[in-house]
Structure 1
Amino acid sequence: MRLHMLERIFDAGTQRRLLSTGLTSGWHCLEVGAGAGSIVRWLEQRVGPSGKVVALDTNPRFLRGSGSSTIEILQGDICDADLPLATFDLVHARYVMIHIVEYQRAFERMLRCVKPGGWVVLEEPDFQAARAVAGSEEGRASFARVSDAIERMFTSLGMDHALGVKLPALFRRHDLTQLTVEHEGHLSAGGGMVAQMMKLSAEQLRDKYIATGMVTEADLEEYGRLADDPDSWAIYYATGAVTGWWQPQCGGRV
């Protein structure tokens, strides 16, 4: 359910970014962390029968049975998957790298797959942008504590809760050029799709949030009420999105 909510909320922005690369028929594309598959299926339509879409996911259960000769489904982790070198015109990942401790290694593995003159598009959350701007005092206080718990949870796992805002430096460090950088805060009223998605996440991760010691059951209940209150407004997180062009013979390094 959460994956489908992500698609409804963010696919339009992702499609706009992918089209900005010049994506067209005949391209070979790699989708890392294919999720429920909406972008994979959309890419299939864009590249046509002369193109190729490789969908890589650690659990591709939503992708089985596509029946398309254009789509190739691979089960595995980007950090160790056996992928062809210098093959893809476009590599894309959305909300994947934040869950990888060795995200820099994952990025380098992606670059190995991009052909000279190809494109990389990454979209990742920046949870340090979270803040409640309107709503009950209790709800806003609980929102702040839940945000602290999210940070503590990621940190305890060796992951970076603010990875989205660090993508431009990562791209520049590996000599990608023609960068397009976006940092989009998702300001949402209670009852909105972003608020409801984050409420669902809090329910699913309730035990992990409480285990951080930063929140109580009461905080999570108050967080849920804020997410339902149409008079509340909050930035639940921002998305950092970077598009870059890869031309290794001009000095790029992996």
Structure 2
Amino acid sequence: MISETGYLLDNRQREAGRRFDALAELFDPWTLDQLDRLGLAAGWRCWEVGAGGPSVPTALAERVGPTGRVLVTDIDTSWLSDLSDLSGPAAGPVEVRRHDVARDEPPGGEFDLVHARLVLVHLPDRAEALRRMAGAVAPGGLLVVEDADPALQPLACPDERGPAEELANRIRRGFRTLLAGRGVDLAFGRTLPALLRGAGLRDVRAEGFFPLTSPANRELEAATVRQLRGRLVADGLATDAEIERHLDQLRDNGMDVTTAPLITCWGRRPAR
């Protein structure tokens, strides 16, 4: 397969909305619990990088309140159009801006929190994007980066107990092949602590979240497979009949499907 560049899961496709909803259900409670434990509070200035959908920016605006600020950026802001309506007596001002973190200069000002989830792993120049994000953190502020590590646990069904699970794992291997062809580092999540320390951050910590099975896991799998169906078939990684069978099996509550572990890593910019 010829190596390509660019984001494999195009946010302009219809299935992107279903993926965002499933990702929010799976990961938002974990993400927001981590941010709350790190002290996210009223008055904070936040930059949400590569937001994709509106769920995390909405929660940030509610937490920082009217004395705070939330800047939300993405290269495709089509799913973020309603965020400006959040500003009001109970939520902080929200600004949505089209921005490519790997190519564009960081937005002006410094932030108490810079956060990105499932963004850097897809970028060809991850190191430059991380450097720019770290440079936007105010003294004493936090950089929190969350990314997947598919190589840490590569299976869709760790309990491969029958033909349905075997097919799911084969299609997941096809998905990983497509990701690798786009330059995705399938072991990126585990490298975050060293990268944050290399960017000059202190008190670096990391934890992992691994949702083994849930309806949201199945919905995320189905939305991803539907979105990549044409590529999987074109590259000979699965047939139309196999994909249709897999989608049918995902509708069964007894199908235990997981996703790659999410590594959450944070570090603090030293005070001047």
- TM (norm. structure 2) is 0.82
Aligned to 2:256, which of 227, 233, 240? 233
Query: Which of the numbers 189, 212, 220 marks the counterpart of 1:187?
Result: 212
Question: Is the partner of 2:28 in helix, strand or coil?
Answer: helix
User: Are 1:223 and 2:224 counterparts?
Assistant: no
CA contact (8 A) 2:213 2:258 kept: yes
Query: When the two structures are aligned, how many residues end up with a matched partner?
Result: 247
- Measured against aligned partners, the alpha-carbon deviations of 1:67-110 in whole angstroms (never above 9, x if no partner) come to 32711111121112343456011000111112211111111110
Q: Separation in 1 of the partners of 2:95 and 2:162?
A: 50
Say whether the 8 Å CA contact 1:125–1:163 is kept in structure 2.
yes
Matched residue, 2:203: 178
Give the C-alpha shift of residue 158 in structure 1: 1.4
Give the Cα separation in 2 of the matches to 1:242 and 1:22.
Answer: 15
Query: In structure 2, the residue corresponding to 1:200 is in which secondary structure?
Result: helix
SS of 1:26's equivalent in the other structure is coil
Aligned-pair identity (%): 30
Q: Which deviates the most, 56-65 or 216-225?
A: 216-225
Task: Give the corresponding residue for 1:75.
Answer: 98
Contact 2:217 2:257 in 1 (8 A): no
SS at match of 1:148: helix
Q: Which residues of 2 match residues 1-254 of structure 1 at below 5 A? A: 1-65=18-82, 66-67=84-85, 68=87, 70-84=93-107, 87-128=110-151, 129-131=153-155, 132-134=157-159, 137-188=162-213, 192-247=215-270
Conserved in 1, the CA contact under 8 Å of 2:111 and 2:138?
A: yes
Identify the range of structure 1 (59-68 vs 46-55) with the bigger mean alpha-carbon deviation: 59-68
Greater fraction of residues in strand:
1
| Regions of 4+ moved over 6 Å | none
- SS in structure 2 of the partner of residue 73 of structure 1: strand
Structure 2 stretches of 5 or more lacking a match? 1-17
CA distance in 2, matches of 1:248, 1:158: 36
Per-residue displacement from partner, 1:15-55 (whole Å, max 9, x unpaired)? 11111221111111000012221211211121122211110
The alignment yields a C-alpha RMSD, in angstroms, of 2.1
Alpha-carbon distance between aligned partners in 2 of 1:230 and 1:207, rounded to the nearest angstrom? 26
**Distance verdict in 2 for CA 1:10–1:113, change over 3 Å:** same
Separation in structure 2 between the aligned mates of residue 127 and residue 225 of structure 1, nearest angstrom: 24
Q: Deviations over 1:216-238 (max 9, x none)?
A: 33432343244233333233321
For structure 1, which runs of at least 5 residues remain unmatched after alignment? Answer: 250-254
